[in-house]
Chain A
Amino acid sequence: MNGRRSAGGSGGGGRGRGGAQTQQGKEGGRRPMFRRRKVCRFCAEKIDDINYKDIKLLMSFVPERAKIMPRRISGTCAMHQRKLRTAIMRARQIALIAYTSE
């Protein structure tokens, strides 16, 4: 994952970086904002099969509270978020993933 950051400098999604510098200037004392461009993990890693049995993969999209991580946070594209959702819901039915955790 570190690679993304270094890759950003050499060309690729420069959007985050340029914006960050100007914002730093405006806001004065605030910590500089570095926002890494979010990429859909399934697109980037070319994962075709989102399977309900692959708990290791699914769990990375189910944070502690056991709710499905929203797209605005994970950066997953719409198509993959839909597939991810069905997979997680199936895994929940057979108690591989929790519905909630209090």
Chain B
Amino acid sequence: MNRRYELVYVASPEATDDQLAELHGQIDAIVQRMGGTLEKTEHWGRRKLAYVIGHHKEGNYVLDVIIGSGELLKEIDRRLKVIDLVIRHLVVRVDEHERVVEHTRTRRTETSRRRRLARGLPPERQPGEGQRSEFDDDRDESEQDGRFDREDAR
């Protein structure tokens, strides 16, 4: 049973690039060995921690998206607990969550299209249409930009 997981780990700020690469290699090796796939890796880089963890105030954040079994992630979890270089890690199963998000999103667009068609309107919202446009228009440019940024990020 292959599921999708996200693994976020925080490596110590003193870790060198080589050490980080080695750590990544170790995780990759476990994933390969236990028949999973490492879908993508994102380096968030050095970030300030929201609270102090073992005298560290900063950390190197890395996000891995892994497809594999629960045993695989259990093994990774066990290994990361042992490695001292990793000061914090988190494993989250995401496939189910993504499915729910996708479902609500499509259902909403579908109902809105259906209702609009039933009212004899074009299926897509036109620019300058009542209600929500009123809400949209009087926000200034910077606020609108901010919102789009966030939507892109997701």
- Which residues of A are interface residues toward B (Cβ below 8 A)? 1-4, 6-7, 10, 45-46, 48-49, 51-54, 56-57, 90, 92-100
Contacts and interface: CB of A to CB of B under 8 A. Distances in A.
A100 B150 CA distance: 25
Contacts of B135: 3-4, 7
Given A53-B63, A56-B153, 17 more contacts: A1-B139, A3-B135, A7-B131, A48-B104, A51-B154, A54-B153, A54-B154, A56-B150, A90-B90, A94-B88, A94-B90, A95-B49, A95-B50, A95-B51, A95-B88, A96-B50, A99-B51
10 A-B pairs closest in CB distance: A95-B49, A98-B50, A3-B135, A49-B101, A94-B90, A3-B138, A95-B50, A48-B101, A98-B51, A48-B104
Given A51-B154, A95-B49, A95-B50, A46 B134 contact: no
B84 interface: no
B89 interface: yes
Contacts of A54: 150, 153-154
B67 interface: no
A55 to B, nearest CB: 9
Interface of B: 8, 10, 47, 49-51, 53, 59, 61, 63, 88-90, 92, 97, 101, 104-105, 108, 131, 134-139, 147, 150, 153-154
Contacts of A90: 90, 92
A3 B134 contact: yes
A94 B101 contact: no
Given A3-B136, A3-B137, A49 B51 contact: no
A53 B154 CA distance: 8
B107 to A, nearest CB: 10
A3 B139 contact: yes
A69 B79 CA distance: 36
Given A2-B138, A7-B135, A48-B101, A95 B10 contact: yes
Nearest to A2: B138
B111 to A, nearest CB: 12
